[in-house]
Structure 1
Amino acid sequence: MRILHKILLIMGCSLYDRSFLKYYNLVKKNEFESYEKLRKYQEGKLRELIHFAYENVPYYRKLFNNLSLKPVDIESIKDLEKLPILTKDIIRNNRKDFIPYNLDKQRYVNKSTGGSTGNPLQYRLSKSDRTLGFAILCANWGYAGYELGDKIGAIAGSALISTTRSVLQDNLKAFILNRKIFSSFDMSDEYMNEILIKLNRFKPKYLWGYASSIYLFAKHIRNNSLRINFNLDGVFTTAETLHDYQRKIIEDTFSCEVFNQYGLNDCGVSAYECRMHQGLHIDMIRSILEVVDDDGNQLGAGEEGRILGTSLHNFAMPFIRYDTGDLGILSAKKCPCGRESPLLKKIVGRVSDFIYAPNGNKIHGEFFSHIFYEFDWVKQFQIVQKRIDEIIIRIVPDSKDRVNDSDLGRLRKIIISRTGRVDITIEICDDIEPTKAGKWRFIVREIE
């Protein structure tokens, strides 16, 4: 049956873009290629992109002229430091200047970012680049043993699962890809029971989706001693920061390894965890990923900085040194798996995933994740900062009977020890509303 679905998947993808199998084979062929050859490939594609952007995209022509630069001045990844960081606001304020002169000759789709900050960005994506992204995803799922045509259960939203207005068309696509798809917008107990019933019938080989959604699903199964009638070879988490306590619950529940991923379509960057779990292998085919300081200087291994992406194949709307809004740390390690692509040691989270404290501290969301791990009755939480001295803590408990003054008092004490004196309001909720993309924001900062 998997062979049939493999053929269907290849045929379906090829109908959309005949390059799918070519790209898939390209990625598999280069999986264990030397770092030097991969870097050479990247920089060759970078030079092509820079020349195209200068000749065809008004924004980049103006930028280069203002900086007294020519395309020949950007020959290597290090040379990218000569260019400023590209932000969403720059793109919005110069939208017409990002239209290539030859756009009418290109095949592309209109896309939008998830808008987790409340302001989604509209952009164009070359059809060939979109196909390359999917080929990379399928090929690098192979780190966990995935083969084309294997059954996938998916719990996610619009950031991962694109839908149309036709239910028939969406169902046909899911059949071709051999997926059973569930929305992450409603993670109520009733809906999670329904997910499990349908997955028990479908019997997926892998589970894929938002880290928080799969974690909530796993915790629901454990807390209610529900029966799983399928055996997973792996779980792919993505789109959100995966915390250690979430990984443990997911792995214990499904008796398999979790393979974390990182990726954005707008600038093409992605990274994938292998069985060694030493970090995430950074894709070097589709894009260039940099970790930089606030001034755009490239940082070395072990230093936390902003993640920038340069898409090497999206000629419909080239993004060069695009600020992803994420924070990450590169690794100095060489993975023992034999792949020589560099490792992303850690995805720290969104730049906005922190709060300011009256005592001057800047406290990242990771601090709160570690706190709540101590309270096993907490199903979900959200920190909302209204003012510098006011924090609202929303908690969804497994059971309201387990909420107790002792734990809440200890929670207040731990937080105040880091923030200094703040007003803390704790709200016990039935649920926390997800973003429009179906993601769970655990830090909401309403002050600048």
Structure 2
Amino acid sequence: MFEKGDVEKLFYREKYYKFFIRKIFDIYNFLFAHSYKSNNLKSILALCSREIDYYKGKGTDIRYYGYIDNNVVRSSFNSFARKGLSIKKPGYTSGTTGSPSKYLWDFRSMAAEQYFQNKYFGWSKKYKVVFRGEKLFEPDEMPEKIYKTVPFIKEMYISSFHINDNTLKNLVEKLKTIPDKCLWAYPSTAFILAEYCIRTGEKLEFDVVATSSETLLDNQVEVIEKAFNCRIKDWYGHAERAAALIRCEHGHYHEVENYSHVEYIERGDNTCEITGTTLHNRIMPLIRYMTNDMVEISPGKCPCGHQSTNILKIHGRRSSYIDLPNKRIPECLFGCLIKKTRNVFQFQVVQTKQKEIIYKIVKGEGFNQEDEKLLLNTIYGTLPREFCTVKYVDSIERDKSGKFRYVINENAG
């Protein structure tokens, strides 16, 4: 049980500690960034074959390594961890598909993550506005000011659990006073702030809008870029550090060069599962780790000129699908459908049984009968009317990490 003020004390203590660690990473990356290019696939396989119990004796040919997944790692955790290294940090998945899973990172892995993100986002000298899953207040607080600034560090943290028009108004007024700023957010929280600015006529600009951790939908991109007058940069990654993808100016995704070794397993319906091999984590390297995340790949080259795989869409996890008797609809396509409607603020699609789907809708300002008719026609043009229930709600809950899930398939195996 928290004492009054404990959350605030812990918050500032954690932020100053993380700032100190990031500065150490910056020094390391300044001195040794060139070494990220030398961590090739064969060297990590040699390490695994020599020192990781699970992979002992498999050699340096990746074809001799079988595919693994989260369940394999959890059931044989100690066999994946390298013995004898004391500098390590546990990392956890967000647990959106069950209980969180634990992984170990070494110093180099954490520094590499910061290096590659700084390189892509270009935010090193910006004032960083963080609008993600931060716990900023006591459980029973209802603050008018939903942000906290960290003195001397040039950072602001915003609670995604206390959003309404009044708190957003106070937030926007504060943000207007801050120059040279970037927004680091979930797509859903960036969208909420952008939608508020457009709806109320507020002018708010960022130099960079950086998102990750949720599927970025087409309608969100349109609203966010219009509101903040800048291009959105989206990072696909995960706690396992087995793969990372970045969004280019054409809206396609590409592998982060020298981050990891990525393979794609065909899963049908023109989709592939991302499978990654760690290159920079020597305390718990994962080889051919199946992420459970699905992508759609184009055989052609991307107009941006990037030479890696040209990924048209990230469809999300296999559980982020709605399964119908003769087809499967991925999360991102529901975002495309919402673009065809009017005055819909938020949505969530929940499949509870094979033929039972609930479509939760938060109405936008001015939602009327014509909007409802368009919405229903759009929904029933994709989901069979007899399977689907439309439910209007005041709000849709986030998960414990502050993320927003657009599609939940409770029936997924």
TM-score band, normalised by the shorter chain?
A: 0.7 to 0.9
Deviation, 1:425, is 2.5
Deviations 1:380-406 (A, max 9, x none): 11111122222111111223x6253x5
- What's the counterpart of residue 32 of structure 1? none
Structure 1: gaps (5+ residues): 1-8, 28-37, 65-69, 163-170, 296-301
Which of 259, 268, 280 lines up with 2:253 in the alignment? 280
Structure 1 counterpart of 2:333, one-letter code: F
Is 1:221 paired with 2:221?
A: no
Rounded to whole Å, the distance in 2 between the matches of 1:281 and 1:289 is 11
Residue in 1 that maps onto 2:72 = 90
Instruction: Identify the residue that residue 47 of structure 1 maps to in structure 2.
Output: 42
Matched ranges for 1:71-90 at <5 A: 71-74=59-62, 79=63, 82-90=64-72
Q: Indicate how the Cα distance of structure 1 residues 16 and 256 shifts in structure 2: closer, same or farther if over 3 A, else same.
A: closer
Does residue 44 of structure 2 align to residue 22 of structure 1? no
Count of residues paired in the alignment: 386
Q: 1:285, 1:375 → 2: CA distance? A: 41
Partner of 2:227: 253
> Which residue is 1:433 aligned to?
397
How far, CA to CA, are the matches of 2:60 and 2:108 in structure 1?
Answer: 26
Q: TM-score, normalised by structure 1?
A: 0.77
Cα gap change, 1:429 to 1:185, in 2 (>3 Å) = same
Residue of structure 1 equivalent to 2:12: none
Shift of 1:434: 0.6
Deviations 1:50-95 (A, max 9, x none): 122222222223xx6xxxxx31433xxxx3xx43321111111112
Mapped to 2, the partners of 1:198 and 1:14 lie a distance apart of 27
Runs in 1 of length 4+ with deviation above 6 angstroms?
none
Which amino acid in structure 1 is aligned with residue 45 of structure 2?
Answer: I
Please list, as runs of the form range in 1=range in 2, the aligned pairs for 1:156-305 lying within 5 A after superposition: 156-157=132-133, 178-228=154-204, 231-274=205-248, 276-277=249-250, 279-294=252-267, 303-305=270-272
Report the Cα distance in structure 1 between the residues aligned to 2:251 and 2:341, rounded to whole angstroms. Answer: 28
What residue is the counterpart of 1:323 in the other structure? 290
Cα offset, 1:240, TM superposition = 1.6
Residue deviations 1:254-275 (CA, integer Å, cap 9, x gap): 122222222223124222234x
CA distance in 2, matches of 1:12, 1:219: 35
What amino acid is aligned across from residue 336 of structure 2 in structure 1?
H
Aligned partner letter, 1:366 = C
1:118 counterpart = 2:83: no
Q: How far off its partner does 1:286 sit?
A: 2.4
Q: Is the 8 A contact 1:149 1:177 kept in 2?
A: no
Give yes or no for the alignment of 1:378 onto 2:358: no
Please state how far the C-alpha of 1:249 moved relative to its aligned partner: 0.8
Q: Which residue identity is paired with 2:192?
A: L
Cross-structure match for 1:35: none
Q: Over the residues paired in the alignment, what is the CA RMSD in angstroms?
A: 3.1
Question: What is the alpha-carbon distance in structure 1 between the residues aligned to residue 159 and residue 179 of structure 2?
Answer: 18
- TM-score normalised per structure 2: 0.83
- Is the Cα contact below 8 Å between 2:106 and 2:281 reproduced in 1? yes
Verify the 8 A CA contact 1:310 1:319 in the aligned structure 2.
yes
Determine which structure has greater relative contact order: mean sequence separation of CA pairs < 8 Å that are 6+ residues apart, divided by chain length.
1
Cα deviation, 1:299-332, whole Å, max 9, x if unaligned, reads: xxx9520011211111211111112221113445
